Amino acid sequence: MSECRYFHVEAGKGMRQVGSLEEALAARGNGGYIWVDMFDPARPELDAVAGRLGIHPLAVEDCFDSNQVPKVEDYPGHTFILFNRYSYRDRELTVGEVDLFLGKDFLVSVSGIGGGERPTFEKIEAIAARAVATVERGPDFLLHVILDVTVDGKVEAIEPLEDDIEAAEEGILRDVTGFRLDSLVQLRRALLSLRKSLFHEREILVKICRRDSPFVSEEAIYHFRDIYDHLAKFFEFTEMNRDLLANLTEMYLSLINNRMARVANRTNKSVRRLTLITTIFMPLSLLAGIGGMSEWSMMTGPDNWRFAYPAFGVAMVAIGAASYLLLKRVERREGNHRDRS
């Protein structure tokens, strides 16, 4: 549901909420600046505010374009800043937007377009109340408070993502066959989305800190440098864990290959045993076939069966033993050759 709040900030009087944009503009005429906080506004609502504050239509259009990356753009009379918010649940990273319009005597924050969670701007109001002397100095100081809260909120997505990566590593080491590779793919996709956002947000802070925007004063730049340090730390996290995910994928594939190699080796040993047995019994089967059809009696004479058949049995045992020893010797020689190579 759409929600819009209006605040007037003036030196010595702090921040107070007013009922409408007209009332905020009237209060601004006596000094200070206004903050307009809009959640999931309809296009006409944002156009109405933009028209009264002189916000460029192209900047308003960017608010409703879900394919935008974090960026900062300067227009006549204001600077447009697009930042990202994160929500991480069930290994899915949801990326939202916080759009900010900074002018000489106004700040407009837009969030939740197209649905989404309400940002915790109550925290911003609490911080502004504690640091009222700082916020009263201008809208660029309030911009720092909003960006600082937005960046610190990224920890709520980064920490569970890091926990899932550690759990994936433990799962691979504990039971590689029960581990699902698609979980690594999901983590990698979330990490890449996070890295893409942080990369552009870091560039935004670089531009702000070198005073590309005429609406950020020299005194406020020092505050934005602290936000840059946080973004640099988060970006380093994505780089380290991207390498870790690549290593986990290689480790998973290596363990699976080793397991398949062990299974293949056991299968090869079984096949070699069966081949050995078959090779030994092939000549014996031939001899047994000859003896069983009375060819042996015809060759030795029917009257000599008492000596002929025991001799036939001894010959079969001797041939089987000789075949076995010969095959074992060949197998041992091949094994020694593989070890040397």
Across the range 230-256, mean pLDDT stands at 89
Task: Tell whether 128 is covered by a domain.
Answer: yes
Alpha helices of the chain — where are they, by DSSP H?
21-28, 43-53, 57-63, 121-130, 132-135, 139-152, 155-174, 181-209, 218-292, 295-300, 305-340
Across the range 156-164, mean pLDDT stands at 88
Q: What is the pLDDT of residues 305-325, one digit of tens each?
A: 566 667 777 777 787 787 777
Task: Tell whether 226 is covered by a domain.
Answer: yes
205 and 325 in a single domain? The answer is no
So what's the pLDDT on residue 100? Answer: 94
212 and 143 in a single domain? The answer is yes
Where residue 295 falls among pLDDT bands split at 50, 70, 90? Answer: low
Across the range 325-331, mean pLDDT stands at 74
Summary mean pLDDT of the chain = 83
57 and 189 in a single domain? The answer is yes
User: What does 176-206 look like in DSSP terms, one character per residue?
Assistant: TTT--HHHHHHHHHHHHHHHHHHHHHHHHHH
pTM above 0.85, yes or no: no
197 and 306 in a single domain? The answer is no
Give the end of a domain, one of 230, 256, 282: 256
131 and 25 in a single domain? The answer is yes
Is residue 260 helix, strand or coil?
helix
190 and 90 in a single domain? The answer is yes
Across the range 172-188, mean pLDDT stands at 86
Range of the domain at 275: 270-336
Most confident of 109-123, 158-172, 268-282: 158-172
Give the end of a domain, one of 229, 256, 283: 256
223 and 250 in a single domain? The answer is yes
Please check the confidence at residue 19 and state whether its pLDDT lies above 60. yes
Task: Tell whether 265 is covered by a domain.
Answer: no
CATH number of 69's domain: 3.30.460.20
As given in the structure block, the two tokens for residue 10 are 């003036």
Where residue 231 falls among pLDDT bands split at 50, 70, 90? Answer: very high
Distance of CA 134 to the CA centre of its chain: 38
274 and 250 in a single domain? The answer is no
250 and 277 in a single domain? The answer is no
So what's the pLDDT on residue 274? Answer: 75
Give the end of a domain, one of 190, 221, 256: 256
Across the range 92-101, mean pLDDT stands at 88
Q: Which residue has the higher pLDDT, 193 or 329?
A: 193
User: b/e for 287-296, b at 16 or more Cβ within 10 A?
Assistant: beeebeeeeb
126 and 274 in a single domain? The answer is no
So what's the pLDDT on residue 99? Answer: 92
When divided into structural domains, the chain yields a total of 2
Task: Tell whether 341 is covered by a domain.
Answer: no
125 and 192 in a single domain? The answer is yes
277 and 233 in a single domain? The answer is no
Please check the confidence at residue 72 and state whether its pLDDT lies above 90. yes
Q: Count Cβ atoms within 10 A of the Cβ of residue 92 and give its class: 0-12 exposed, 13-18 middle, 19 or more buried.
A: exposed
Task: Tell whether 153 is covered by a domain.
Answer: yes
User: What does 126-194 look like in DSSP terms, one character per residue?
Assistant: HHHHHTHHHHTT-HHHHHHHHHHHHHHTTHHHHHHHHHHHHHHHHHHHH-TTT--HHHHHHHHHHHHHH
